[in-house]
Amino acid sequence: MSSTNRTVEREAAPPPRWTPARIAVWAAVAVVGAAAWGVVALSRGEEISAAWLIFAALASYAIGYRFYARFISYRVLRVDDTRATPAERINNGTDFHPTDRRVLYGHHFAAIAGAGPLVGPVLAAQMGYLPGTLWIIIGVIFAGAVQDMVVLFFSMRRNGRSLGQMAREEIGPVGGVAALVAVLAIMIILLAVLAMVVVNALADSPWGSFSLIMTIPIALFMGCYLRYLRPGRVIETSLIGVVLLLAAIVAGGWVAADPFWSEVFLFTHNELTIGLVVYGFVASVLPVWLLLAPRDYLSTFMKVGVVALLAVSIIVSMPVLRLPAFTDFAFNGEGPVFAGALFPFVFITIACGALSGFHALISSGTTPKLIEKESQVRMIGYGSMLTESFVAVMALITACVIDPGVYFAMNMPAGALGDSVTSAAAAVNQLGFTVSPETLQSTADSIEESSVLARTGGAPTFALGAAQIFSSLFGGQAMMAFWYHFAVMFEALFILTTVDAGTRVGRFMLQDTLGNVYKPMRDITWKPGLYLTSALVVAGWGYFLWAGVNDPLGGINQLFPLFGIANQLLAAIALAVCTTLLIKSGRARYAWITLIPLVWDAVVTLTASYQKVFSTDPAIGFFAQRARYAEALAAGETSLGTAQTVEQMEKVVVNTTVDGVLSILFALLIIVVLADACRVWVKALRAGGSLPTSEEPYQRSTLWAPSGLIPTKEEREIAAARSGEGAAAS
Amino acid sequence: MTDTRTGRVRRARATVAAALAQAWHIARGVAGEHAYEIYLEHHARTHPGVPPMGEREFWRRHVDRGDTEPGSRCC
């Protein structure tokens, strides 16, 4: 305590001096990075080791973090360590509290990284490994991590205001409303898409269904244990939970092998959909301590553990990438996983891991209220996002190490594959990838599943690749099935946590909005309001889930682009807020830092929306699709493409109408936000380059803490001096 | 074994022990186990002399805050 009595002398850390050793280290990093990029980008025809992808990524991250992020924090944002952060000023013992930077980094990473970075890259792998790799690494350095850090900084300067509040205050009411609508829309689509991933992974899989269902009693047990037996012992409880979880996965194998129990836990797509909807509703109205909190601990534990395990396994086993750098689908837009060419669709398919607007909600939520020193935004905002990007690179690797023919058989819509391994192998061969029916069957046998066909949604593909990598190190072929179900369970566990938490967040937003019309709604403990709003949110994502699961054209194929567009729409709002703040605070000459990613994001999202709305290619344009099916129905036809009945054709017409209208809505929202932001920029520039913002006034800090992960020699000396002084004073 | 050597071993052991203690501290922080300690520290500072909430009571209220304030989780 007493060591905090002295004020801080420095405003910003002086740039470290360039000693010969430092120059040598950074030159080596640059050389390794360049060599790795050379191999990744230029090899054609031969299979390369995943190690090159890892080296290219890590070297690029190091250079981006050391040079670009440092430039942004000291030159552009001008972080000031003599200024007290909200955590120091307000310090109320609960949500505002100066938190150790390493702890906060862990918190922030756990909050931003979920199933997203594991899904997008797997789907984008249909174009080869290179488009995804390039976008994940370049995108994170220049767009995603910049957005996260800059939003975190501006929110921190405003006592942790939310993105919506900043949009309203800095841009105007129109921007504020657009942000609110965008957040609610993305939440609904996100929950539907993620729930669909779970449905596709668990349908007809007694092993997977059993293990996932077991997580509910495990979480309930953990909740009661924490509540009544050992309050506050989170790590101990989580460890017990993880042991039970592993036991549930092992037991799943026995369930799948047993003729009776495997029938009990065999669910169809529609049964799982109903189960998830009911679960989503019940979970979101139960008290947090009973289900959500313990589940959250468990999934955070698993997340950190599996990410670390995967990183070590890839680096040790160095698997070979079997997918080529580019497939033809990158250019002809006829990919079976999602339609459309490389530009713009890779950039919306991979959101989490490269640029994810959703993160702006976390960076303007709990994290800015806990940060200890302004200069730590680099490590926490930029650093956490780099880590998520690395997770995305690893997910891409898992998709690329499996047999390309198996990859396509797993990720094509069921309608295109037919019912048997023979028809599926024929369909994959049509695409130009060879796979034998025997390979498809033996792959299914190796993971003890009845089939791997049309397991769309990314999770099963990730799980298969991860199982290959893990089992090459631990347990060999005998452990394949265990590792596969371990990975499926790991991803499904995340998603259930997101479904529960997301439904709650949506419910709170809805209660708040409806509270404007009918007062009691705003009282979040009022039960009828609670049930009504929860039901509305669940009905929202439940509709899209049901429609997607039963979509003859494949739900992931149809809905994933919408999710990507919604996420990038949120990123556009966040980047527009950042650019506005840079201009209003007199830093127009540095506004390109967020303006370039904003322009890129807007071009990508609007092009994608344009194609989804206006493309005359029925594989891409929702309305072209609609017209094709409507005309066929009018002409009295009873089947078209993958839709085998009139009923299915009518489904296509309804779904494409809804999806098309949503695409239009998202595009309009972006245009409105950008136009409104431009208005404010012009106003600020006309006013001589600055306008008042809602920044909190300066207050001098009395705290001291290192800036980066590892304290510098100078920082260690200051720390030692201060603690010595503190000991002397007390 | 010479004196300098045992000294070196002892120092290395101390360094490893300190690093492990720090890692444990960070892990507890990430899991959120410090909440009660933070509360006690804050309480002592703002309400000196007033007895603080018991640990059990505190954790109950701490977790129940989640019922009225949604945490944000991402994709």
- A51 contact partners, CB below 8 Å, separation of at least 6: A315, A318
Both structure tokens of A225: 């244990």
Same domain? For B39 and B68 the reply is yes
Same domain? For B46 and B19 the reply is no
Instruction: Show which of residues 687-706 on chain A sit within 8 Å of chain B, judged by CB atoms.
Output: none
Same domain? For B13 and B40 the reply is no
Q: Is the pLDDT of residue A4 over 60?
A: no
A414 found inside a domain: no
Q: Is the pLDDT of residue B60 over 60?
A: yes
Same domain? For B45 and B68 the reply is yes
Instruction: Show which of residues 11-70 on chain B sit within 8 Å of chain A, judged by CB atoms.
Output: 25-36, 38-39, 41-43, 46, 55-56, 58-60, 63-68, 70
Residue-wise pLDDT for A500-525, tens only, equals 989 998 998 888 888 888 888 888 78
Q: Which of B38, B46, B66 is facing A97, going by the closest CB pair?
A: B38
Both structure tokens of B12: 């290395």
A462 found inside a domain: no
Determine contact: A113 vs chain B, CB below 8 A: yes
Residue-wise pLDDT for A180-211, tens only, equals 888 888 889 999 999 999 999 999 999 999 99
Report in angstroms the alpha-carbon separations of A719 from A8, A100, A412, A618, B38: 12, 14, 57, 64, 21
Same domain? For B26 and B44 the reply is no
Residue A524 confidence (pLDDT): 79
Find the residue in A nearest to B32 (Cα). Answer: A234
Please give, rounded to a whole number of angstroms, the shortest distance from the CA of A327 to a CA of chain B: 28
A296 found inside a domain: yes
A406 found inside a domain: no
Name the strand (E) or helix (H) holding A655: helix A646-686
Domain coverage including residue A62: 20-200+267-390+500-686
Q: Is the pLDDT of residue A320 over 90?
A: yes
Residue-wise pLDDT for A590-617, tens only, equals 999 999 999 999 999 999 999 999 999 9
Residue-wise pLDDT for A634-688, tens only, equals 999 998 888 889 999 999 999 999 999 999 999 999 999 999 999 999 999 999 8
Q: Are A134 and A592 in contact (CB under 8 A)?
A: no
What's the CA angle centered on A15, arms A9 and A21, to 5 degrees? 130
Residue B73 confidence (pLDDT): 66
Alpha carbon B65 to chain centroid, angstroms: 20
**Chain B CB contacts of A508 below 8 Å:** 70
What does the radius of gyration of chain B's CA atoms come to, in whole angstroms? 20
DSSP character string of A70-119: HHIIIIIS---TTBPPHHHHH--SSSS----HHHHHHHHHHHH-SSHHHH
Residues, chain B: 75
What's the CA angle centered on A566, arms A560 and A135, to 5 degrees? 70
Both structure tokens of A186: 């993305």
Same domain? For B5 and B17 the reply is yes
Residue-wise pLDDT for A382-411, tens only, equals 999 999 999 999 999 999 999 999 999 999
A91 found inside a domain: yes
- With bands split at pLDDT 50, 70 and 90, how would you rate the model's confidence at A726? low
The Cα A485–Cα A405 span in angstroms is 21
Domain coverage including residue B27: 1-31
- B11 contact partners, CB below 8 Å, separation of at least 6: none
**Number of domain units in chain A:** 1
Both structure tokens of A719: 């720390």
Residue A17 confidence (pLDDT): 83
Residue A1 confidence (pLDDT): 36
A437 found inside a domain: no
Q: Is the pLDDT of residue A16 over 90?
A: no
Same domain? For B27 and B38 the reply is no
Residue B44 confidence (pLDDT): 93
Q: Which of B26, B46, B72 is facing A366, going by the closest CB pair?
A: B72
A720 found inside a domain: no
Report in angstroms the alpha-carbon separations of A568 from A162, A182, A413: 18, 10, 25
Same domain? For B38 and B27 the reply is no
Residue A730 confidence (pLDDT): 39
Q: What percent of chain A has pLDDT over 90?
A: 81
Cross-chain Cβ contact A233/B33 below 8 Å: yes
Burial code (b: 16+ CB inside 10 Å, e: under 16) for A242-279 equals bebbeebbeebbebbeeeebbeebbbebeebbebbbeb
Please give, rounded to a whole number of angstroms, the shortest distance from the CA of A672 to a CA of chain B: 25
Residue A5 confidence (pLDDT): 39
Cβ contacts from A onto B, under 8 A: 117
Cross-chain Cβ contact A102/B42 below 8 Å: no
ipTM score over 0.85, yes or no = yes
Q: Which of A91, A100, A358 is facing B29, going by the closest CB pair?
A: A100
**Number of domain units in chain B:** 2
Q: Are A90 and A167 in contact (CB under 8 A)?
A: no
Determine contact: A516 vs chain B, CB below 8 A: no
Determine contact: A364 vs chain B, CB below 8 A: no
Arithmetic mean of pLDDT over chain A: 92
Please give, rounded to a whole number of angstroms, the shortest distance from the CA of B73 to a CA of chain A: 5
Q: Rounded to 5 degrees, what are φ and ψ at A658?
A: -60, -50
Please give, rounded to a whole number of angstroms, the shortest distance from the CA of B24 to a CA of chain A: 10
Residue-wise pLDDT for A52-80, tens only, equals 999 999 999 999 999 999 999 999 999 99
Residue A592 confidence (pLDDT): 98
Residue-wise pLDDT for B14-41, tens only, equals 999 999 999 999 999 999 999 999 999 9
Report in angstroms the alpha-carbon separations of A387 from A244, A313, A338, A390: 28, 17, 27, 5
Find the residue in A nearest to B54 (Cα). Answer: A231
Q: Map tokens 């092998």 to a residue.
A: A257
Determine contact: A122 vs chain B, CB below 8 A: no
